[in-house]
Structure formats: structure tokens, C-alpha cells
Amino acid sequence: MTPPARIGLFGLLGSGNLGNDGSFEAVLGFLRTDHPDAAISVMCGGPEIVASRYGLETTALNWYEGEYRTVSGPLSVAMKGFGKLVDIVRTATWVRRQDVVIVPGMGVLESTLPLRPWGFPYALLLLSASGRLVGTKVALVSVGASVSSHRVTRSVIGWAGRLASFRSYRDEPSREAMRAMGVDVTNDRVYPDLAFALTAPSEPVLPRSVGVGVMAYHGGNDDRARADDIYESYVDNMTRFVARLVSDGRPVRLFIGDQADRRVVDEIMRELGSPLIAAADTSTLDELMRAMSAVESVVATRYHNVLCALKLAKPTLSIGYASKNKVLMTALGLGEFCQSAKEIDLDALVRQFAELESRAGELTEIVAKRGAEQVRLLDEQFAELSAAFLPMGVR
């Protein structure tokens, strides 16, 4: 009798980012439906949360618990350095116990936000290298990628991708980024973001309501010197936009995409103090979509806030921090409704939003049709994964 497949899932999961966890939930749903006998374990950033929320066996991504905190002295530096060595053995040991390890979506090959090469890129490199060493296949599924301007980060990300057994990307620019970093992408495919595979909830819609997704945005890797100024400008513009909505008598619901974003929500609510403004209490992507389904239209910054709005076929305006937002919006038919989070033009934003609402019926139909195609393509990818790595578990 063939033993059940041993499948590992790997990533910054359970760490407060709703988009990462949503991608994980999409793959977990696929595995539990198509491979119900599989033994699933997870190596992740928040093992306690993942274990309690999903009932899975988990292993901490890093030996040193303070891996993603800013160093505070010589001891912290030493512990981080020692942890890097310990994690070589820990990662290889965990990978050896799996038949295949899936990295479920996320921007694991991106450097669009502040990133150090010896943080998560190093962890991903250990995963791919361990897979090669012990004979376990590593699949990077619908991941995001970008070319880093920092040589070491670019090298680490490139090798992490190169050593994987399977790669697919959530958009064409991600595929081209890996090509630019020297990875042979000839056999790599582009599929939609995994979160499109999640079930879209339906809630009663509050008339004239607007969902505003905010982000604790400080710019990217090259903006560290002016990160505080970028943050203050972003929050000021978002606050002023919400104030205009409120002055028009519009109910506003504020959304986050990461627990770090709650700071921005608190600042806006404290500054405006309006009973028309409410903060959605969400800790999963499913909860976010449920809350978002109750508003008429959405203006959002984080990629997965925008994606959830599009999944729900909402008239959506993106104030993005990376090209992936524009690519996603264009793919779903809303490419003209985009702005940059770093340089918000408030007057233009107000005009764009007015046009978005005036064309709501037309745009909703376009987004719904294209969203259905995203789901079909993901079903195709899941079938490909089953055929390539998990034939013994197909039902």
C-alpha cells in the first residue's frame, strides 16, 4: 500500500500578513480537497498561530525568535549569526521529512519593500538548497518576484529560485525579473495569484459605503533615509481623502493587510473622529473579504487588499507601492484607476474615484468576468501540481 504523500508548506505564515496567510489557505484548501490523505506540515514564521488556526504540525522558520527584530546590541548580533548556522541543519532536517515542499504564493522573490538578504531570502535559499541536497522537490507556486538593486540580495534571491524544482509566477513581470537575475524560465508558467482560488463571501452592502485599505508605508529598500517623510505624507493624504468622503456623508470602513497597518487606522480615526468611520476587525484574508463585501467600492494600497476587492468584483482604485498593483489592476480591466503610494495626487484621486463610481456597473461586469478566468487558470495549475508531484493522492 502506497503511504500518503508528505507535503510541507513553507513561508512567512501566521506572522500577521493577511495576504501571505490567504495564499496559504488557498493551497491548503486544494490539498485537503484533492489530496485528503496527505500528511501536511508547515515551517513558518508564526507556528503557534498556524497550529491553532489550522490544526497542523508546525516548525518555527528560525531558531532565533528575534530574527526579524532590529538588532539592539552585540548579543543580538551574535544570536542572529549563530541562528543562521543552526537554521542550516534545522531546515535540511525538516525538508528531508517531506516528499515535496510548496511555497504558496507571496512575494517571496520580491524586494519592493525594505528587505535584508540574510532575512527571509536566506531562509528561502536554505529551503531550495536543502531540497537539492536531500532529494525533496521544492515548488514555488504563483510567487511574486522583482529585481533587487542590491547585489547580495539579488544573488540570494536568484539562487533560491534557481535551485527550486518548480516555479510559477503570479504575473509576467515576476517571470521576467527572474530571467533578468539569470534564472532559466523557459519552462516556468504564469498563473494568477493564489488568493483568487478562495471562496468569495457575500454580505449585505451598506449604501454609498467606501472601503479604504491602508498600509504602514515607508517606501522601499532605496528609501530608508526618508522613510519617515514618506510615511507621514502617505498617512496625511489618506486621511485627507477619507475626510472628503466623510464630508460627503459617506460611511467609510478602514481595512488593513498586515497587523502593522493598525497604526495607520488608529491615526486616521483619531485625527477625524467621525462616527461615519469604522475599522474592520480582521485577522485573516477570509475575514477581510467578508468585511469588504459589505462596501460598495474600494480604495486600497496593499496588494492583497486590492486583490480581495477585485475577487469580490468591486469597483476598485489602487494606490500601489509596486508595479504588481498596476499589473493586477490592468489584468482585471481597471488599469486606469491607479496611483503611486509614494506620490499621491489627492485632487486626481478624487477625480478618479468619481469616475470609478460613475462607471460602477460597467466595471463590475468586466472584473467579474476576468475574475472567473483567474479561478479557471488556478484550477489548471493545481491539476498540474498534482500530476507532477502528487499523483498518489488524487481523488
Q: pLDDT tens across 121-137, in order?
A: 999 999 999 999 999 99
Q: Give the per-residue pLDDT at 1.
A: 60
Give the pLDDT band (50/70/90) at residue 108: confident
Q: pLDDT tens across 68-92, in order?
A: 665 566 777 778 878 889 999 999 9
Q: Which amino acid is at 183?
A: V
Q: pLDDT tens across 281-301, in order?
A: 999 999 999 999 999 999 999
Indicate if the pLDDT at residue 190 is higher than 80: yes
Q: What is the mean pLDDT of residues 307-326?
A: 96
Q: Give the per-residue pLDDT at 183.
A: 95
Q: Give the per-residue pLDDT at 221.
A: 75
Indicate if the pLDDT at residue 67 is higher than 70: no
C-alpha cell at 215: 498600509
Q: Per DSSP, what are the bridge partners of residue 254?
A: 212, 279
Are 217 and 302 in contact, with CB atoms under 8 Å apart? no
**Degrees (nearest 5) of the Cα angle 69, 72, 77?**
80
Q: Give the per-residue pLDDT at 393.
A: 42
Q: What are phi and psi of 309, to 5 degrees?
A: -60, -40
3-state SS, residue 277? strand
Give, in order, the Cα–Cα distances in Å from 182 to each of 53, 72, 103, 179, 231. Answer: 39, 36, 21, 5, 34
Across the chain, what does the average pLDDT equal? 93
Are 169 and 144 in contact, with CB atoms under 8 Å apart? yes
C-alpha span between 334 and 357 (Å, rounded) = 12
Are 292 and 255 in contact, with CB atoms under 8 Å apart? yes
Give the pLDDT band (50/70/90) at residue 174: very high
Domains annotated for the chain, with CATH where assigned, are 6-190 (3.40.50.2000), 210-372 (3.40.50.2000)
